[in-house]
A and B are shown apart, each in its own frame.
Chain A
Amino acid sequence: GAVVSQHPSWVICKSGTSVKIECRSLDFQATTMFWYRQFPKQSLMLMATSNEGSKATYEQGVEKDKFLINHASLTLSTLTVTSAHPEDSSFYICSAEGEKYNEQFFGPGTRLTVL
């Protein structure tokens, strides 16, 4: 199967700062990337869907000005958590889908802790 990476794998930041998380498809071109958030012992909740070269589509209740998503190339999408607060602490997971495959491939996740 295809490989999706995320960087960093974990990050600790101070309240009020911004954090950028990268999601890369390593061996295929990802026409669509998805960003999920997972709180402890809970399921994954889709935050937004991004297509290369166009604006992301956010799910209801997700603030687009707070969670900035950029999908500038077919192998890279970034999620920036702006002015992070402790309640933004969570596990952020991306997935990627391409024309070559008929399924989403998930990254290993990024653990964000906001102090």
Chain B
Amino acid sequence: SQQGEEDPQALSIQEGENATMNCSYKTSINNLQWYRQNSGRGLVHLILIRSNEREKHSGRLRVTLDTSKKSSSLLITASRAADTASYFCARTKAAGNKLTFGGGTRVLVKP
């Protein structure tokens, strides 16, 4: 499959807890992005991290990238019920603009 792997496939946590999901890939990348998708809706862009970056923050979101391990992680701190959604990583290869999506992680935040 051309898709990267994401784990876990599903995650259920209590409100206030942190949620961590991981994304692995096989080829070299130009950048890696994380998206959120609420059920039956379009995608919302969360964070873009470039291949020469190791960590980025945006509000309660923290993304790391380890190009030596070909993996990235998304951490949501102090989760809220509104964070319930599917989260996808997507990468672009060097000198390209096509996005290849990972399998996604379905996150359920229980109030």
Contacts and interface: CB of A to CB of B under 8 A. Distances in A.
Interface of A: 1, 6, 32, 34, 41-46, 49, 91, 93, 95, 97, 103-109, 111
Interface of B: 3, 33, 35, 40-45, 48, 88, 90, 97-104, 106
Contact of A34 (B33, B99, B102): B99
Contact of A46 (B45, B99, B102, B103): B99
Contacts of B103: 42-43
Contacts of B45: 1, 103, 105-106
9 contacts: A34-B98, A42-B103, A44-B43, A91-B40, A93-B42, A95-B43, A103-B33, A108-B41, A109-B41
Contact of B40 (A49, A105, A111): A111
A108 B42 contact: yes
Looking at chain B's contact residues, the main secondary structure is strand
A96 to B, nearest CB: 12
A81 to B, nearest CB: 19
A43 B102 contact: yes
A30 to B, nearest CB: 12
A107 B90 CA distance: 16
B10 to A, nearest CB: 10
Contacts of A107: 42
A45 B103 CA distance: 10
Contact of B100 (A32, A46, A111): A46
A8 B69 CA distance: 42
A89 B41 CA distance: 16
